[in-house]
């Protein structure tokens, strides 16, 4: 249980759901963690819970911040540096579905706000931690993706659009900082039974579509993908075991990520686990 011994991590959207599961796994593996969320109530609760399980030398801190606001992010990163002296791992988990419904019917301001949270709330924290990671000569950045990155999501377009953008940004940033030993990856944690799923169900089939609504109900009934599965992938990507694995979109459920280190050299110059365009030849056509 020491895969992250001595490492210092910053996790956004960590007051509940998947973010809390990541933070809990990081603490169990020996990391010191700064948890961030927009609301203080649940954040304080999970902070107290993790402090009770922390071992000697570990530090668990919390900070209320809105990742879509640059001043908040600057304060968050400075808090991590003040408390820990370094930032080894950044997990950009904070995100929202945004408005649900046809693009011509949803509230435009809500659509824009959702993309600000999902895109800028990922990009700016990356930008903010880079100076510290560059000074350290290493770092791990993990950005949360999801089904919206690789599949169309009609009636939830703010989410789908922003998550696709997050993956392409991840791939691009990975190339920018690869020579600095900073690994940047995106994670698809699976169909999670979290508050986002509850929001989609509550919106109703008239807003999210009958098929999507039925699928969400089925996921909730079956329990969804265990949060721990995605958290284990985030532990792997934060650890030295994944050194050199960068610029990838990895599925916690479907990809053999625990053995990727064996294929690091092959992955480096390939488009495996990346976004790409499908051409006719990929589907056996000769157009």
Burial class, 261, CB count within 10 angstroms (exposed 0-12 / middle 13-18 / buried 19+)? middle
Strands across the sheet with 139-144, in order? Answer: 60-64, 32-37, 8-11, 89-92, 139-144, 182-188, 249-251
Output the CA torsion 49→73→250→282 (10° steps).
Answer: 160
Please list the residues that pair with 183 across neighbouring strands.
140
User: Is the Cβ–Cβ distance between 164 and 275 less than 8 Å?
Assistant: yes
C-alpha 44, offset from chain centre: 21
| Among candidate residues 92, 77, 72, the one with its CA nearest the CA of residue 12 | 92
Residue of 26, 124, 159, 273 marked active site? 159
To the query of whether residue 236 is one of the catalytic residues in this protein, the response is: no
Q: Which residues are catalytic?
A: 159
């Amino acid at each position: 249980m020491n895969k992250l011994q001595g490492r210092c991590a910053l996790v956004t959207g960590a007051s509940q759901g998947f973010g809390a599961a990541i933070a809990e796994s990081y603490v169990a593996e020996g990391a010191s963690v700064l948890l961030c969320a927009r609301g203080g109530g649940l954040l304080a609760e999970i902070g107290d819970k993790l402090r009770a399980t922390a071992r000697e030398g570990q530090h668990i801190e919390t900070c209320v911040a809105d990742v879509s606001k640059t001043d908040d992010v600057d304060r968050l990163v400075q808090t991590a540096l003040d408390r820990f002296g370094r930032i080894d791992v950044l997990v950009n988990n904070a995100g929202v579905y945004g408005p649900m419904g046809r693009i011509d019917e949803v509230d435009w301001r809500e659509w824009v706000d959702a993309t600000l949270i999902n895109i800028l709330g990922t990009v700016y924290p990356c930008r903010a931690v880079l100076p510290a990671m560059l000074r350290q000569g290493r770092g791990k950045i993990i950005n949360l993706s999801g089904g919206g990155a690789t599949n169309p999501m009609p009636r939830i377009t703010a989410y789908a659009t922003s998550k696709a953008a997050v993956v392409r940004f991840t791939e691009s940033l990975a190339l920018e900082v690869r020579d600095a030993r900073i690994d940047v990856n995106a994670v698809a944690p699976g169909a999670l039974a979290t508050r986002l799923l509850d929001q989609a169900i509550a919106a109703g089939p008239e807003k999210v579509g009958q098929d999507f609504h039925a699928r969400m109900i089925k996921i909730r009934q079956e329990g969804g993908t265990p949060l721990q599965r995605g958290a284990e992938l985030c532990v792997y990507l934060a650890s030295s075991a994944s050194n050199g694995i960068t610029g990838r979109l990895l599925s916690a459920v479907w990809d053999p990520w625990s053995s990727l280190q064996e294929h690091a050299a092959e992955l480096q110059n390939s488009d495996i686990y990346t976004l790409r365009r499908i051409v006719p030849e990929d589907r056996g056509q000769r157009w």
